[in-house]
Each structure stands twice: as structure tokens, then as C-alpha cells.
Structure 1
Amino acid sequence: MFRYTLMRLGIFAGCLVVVWGLVYSGIAPRGLGDANYMWVVLLALVISAPISFVALRKERDRASVQVVRKVDRIKANLEANRSQEDGADDSARAQGQTS
């Protein structure tokens, strides 16, 4: 998951540098007034999103498998804890009825 995030940030940083260069060379519009920095960041986000979606497909699938495994492990641990509590509760009730 950490690797996917770093790759996403890398693609965004690359797009930010390219957009910054295009804006300051005059190829892309500069934005309105003092909004130039915001324009560059938003344009870089809009460009990097589809690139990341296509380029990082395999890495995203690997990350999702890791997340699913972790969630399944947590569910199994919760179920094991729940069954232990049920067993302890049942034995305590059984001892209370015989006394």
C-alpha cells in the first residue's frame, strides 16, 4: 500500500513539474490573478489522476489484495475472540446452574 502511495505521489510530482514548465513557458494559460499556484496544482491533479489509474493498475490490484487479506485476518481474529467469549460464558453459566 505504501509503495502504491509513493508511486501515486511520484506521478503527481512529475505532472506538477511538467505543468509548471508549461505554464511558465506560456504554452498553458497562467490562471487568474493570484490563483496561478492553485491553477498549476489543480491542473496537475487532473492530469495525474487518469495517468495513475492506467499506469498503476497492477500495483493497485496488489494493494487491494493486501487490504482484503488484512480485513479477512481481522475478521477471523474477531470471530475467534467471540467464540472464546461464548465458550467462557457458557461454561460460567453451566457452573452457576450446578451450584
Structure 2
Amino acid sequence: MSATTSATLKYTLMRFGVFAGCFVVLYALVYFGLVPRGLGDSNVLWVLVLSVVVSAPLSFVLLRKQRDAMSEQIAVKVDHAKARIEANRAQED
């Protein structure tokens, strides 16, 4: 597994962890009546949507270092790919 794939997987798992944590906390808040329930039987869907809305900005702030490291690794890989393409293009001329 390459370093880029590893960094991407780590970041993705951390994002999922933030989402799961938000889901558990929000579900508890809804269960105890501190946050309004959804309409009818939409309680779980309401908590899922609310978890996405809450976890997105939290991930943006809490995972900044991991996101920056991942983007640097991806940028290096893109630069290498561009250099290979340019070298192939120069060889054809």
C-alpha cells in the first residue's frame, strides 16, 4: 500500500470516527429529549442528517493537520505524474 493510499485511508477513517461520535452523542440527545425528534418514524434519518451537518465542520477543524499531510502527498504524486507525461510528450517530439 502506498503512502498516499495509507494517508487517505487514515483520514477517511478519522472522518468516519468523527461522524460516528456525533451520531452517538446526537442520538443520546434525541433519546433524552434534549434535541427534537424527527417527524413520525424519521428519527434515525433525522439523527443521520444532523450528524452529517455537525461532523462536517468538526472534521474541518479537528483534522486539519491530517488533511494537509494527505494533500501534500497527493500533490507530490500529481507532480510526478505530470513530469512523466511531459517526459513522454518530449520523447514523442
TM range (shorter): 0.7 to 0.9
Identical positions, percent: 60
The structural deviation recorded for 1:34 is 2.1
Q: Report how many residues are paired.
A: 86
2:37 aligned with 1:30: yes
**1:12-53 alpha-carbon deviations (Å, 9 max, x no partner):** 011011111111111111111122111100111111111111
Aligned to 1:97: none
| Higher percent of residues as helix | 1
Instruction: Tell which has more relative contact order, 1 or 2 (C-alpha 8 A, sep 6+).
Output: 2
Q: Distance in 1 between matches of 2:80 and 2:9?
A: 19
Structure 2's unaligned 5+ residue stretches are 1-7
User: Scaled by the length of structure 1, what TM-score is found?
Assistant: 0.82
| 1:83 positional shift | 1.1
Q: What TM-score do you get using the length of structure 2 for normalisation?
A: 0.87
Within-5 A mapping of 1:21-60? 21-60=28-67
RMSD value, Cα: 0.9
> Which letter does structure 1 place at the counterpart of 2:72?
V
Letter in structure 1 aligned against 2:58: I
Unaligned runs of 5+ in 1: 87-99
Which has the larger Rg?
Answer: 1
Aligned equivalent of 1:72:
79
Q: Distance in 2 between matches of 1:57 and 1:43?
A: 22
Could you list the structure 1 runs, at least 4 aligned residues long, displaced by more than 3 angstroms after superposition. Answer: none
